[in-house]
Amino acid sequence: MSNPSGSNAKLAIVAAVLVGLFAVVAINRYVRERTAVPETPKVCILTAASEIPAGATLAEDQLTVAEIPAEGLSNLHVTLPNRDEAGFETALAEAKAKFVGHTAKRLIAANTPVFWIDVEEARQTEFADLIGEDSRAVTLPVDTVSSVCGFIRPGSRVDIVLTATESRLGLPAQGPDAEDRVVSMVIMQNVPVIATDRAFRLGEEAEGYGTITLNVPTRAALTLVQARTMGTLTYLLRNVRDDRLEEDRARNVVYPGAAFYETVRALGAAGKGDAE
């Protein structure tokens, strides 16, 4: 004879499992929608076709064109029409002509943007001229650590890391009794530095400076202003040859107490695996 109470209990367990699965799917979809990085349009810029040493005189064959995401564009870039536009070839020839014969102030790596501030007799002499109509200059405080011991200079490119607690960032707590976790995340990548304190020309960099000025789109400038109130900003200096943008921006979550050790141990294990 069947046991009705036993059958009801099994049905309840199955229902609970199904509800749990639906909840997991819904949470994963919500996280993907909130963290998805929208595709950005591409723009054409003038770049170095080959490595140009400091002190070298620029030649036409050392200059070419490349495409970058529009979110990484600043007024330091020499922008060109799209390749399929009628005036592309003329604009490219005119841009090259403005640089040919000038002397490089510093090493310009192959496949990296060529800026006016990279060459002698730069045509942009006023600081405000570096700021495009769709961009804004935003100045942020730095110290010896966040400025990479002062090695960040005008023309450098940096990634910006925000470190704050989940509660400050408005992230949902992990359970009713969960402790507030610390989150570090890359919020912007490959951002151009156009000044340190009041120095913005190569060779005139400030020593022991306390601020850096970035050239970013207006909305990004507002984001940085808000980020300062949320937590701590740190700047990661990029190699001059590295202009990649990672679609999945790095993020690290540190649990309070002993869980930080687990984070460090997991990082060490990952590094050991890569070495092997």
- CB within 8 A of 217, min separation 6: which ones? 71, 134, 135, 136
Q: What is the pLDDT of residues 212-246, one digit of tens each?
A: 999 888 889 999 999 999 999 999 999 877 888 87
- Higher per-residue confidence, 5 vs 170: 170
Query: Taking 50 as the threshold, does the pLDDT of residue 273 lie above it?
Result: no
- Higher per-residue confidence, 248 vs 70: 70
Judge whether 80 and 45 are in contact, CB under 8 Å.
Answer: yes
Domain ranges of the chain: 39-124, 134-257
Q: What is the pLDDT of residues 4-33, one digit of tens each?
A: 666 666 666 766 666 666 766 667 676 666
Check residue 72 and give its pLDDT. Answer: 77
- Higher per-residue confidence, 269 vs 271: 269
Instruction: Give mean pLDDT, residues 153-181.
Output: 79
Residue 274 CA to residue 276 CA, distance in Å, equals: 5
User: pLDDT tier at 40 (50, 70, 90 boundaries)?
Assistant: low
How much of the chain exceeds pLDDT 90, in percent? 23
- CATH number of 39-124, picked from 3.90.1210.10, 3.30.70.20, 1.10.10.60, 1.10.3720.10: 3.90.1210.10
Q: What is the pTM of this model?
A: 0.53
Check residue 52 and give its pLDDT. Answer: 93
92: left (phi over 0), alpha (psi -120 to 50) or beta: alpha
Residue 197 CA to residue 61 CA, distance in Å, equals: 36
Question: Where is average pLDDT lowest: 31-40, 61-70, 81-90, 108-117?
Answer: 31-40
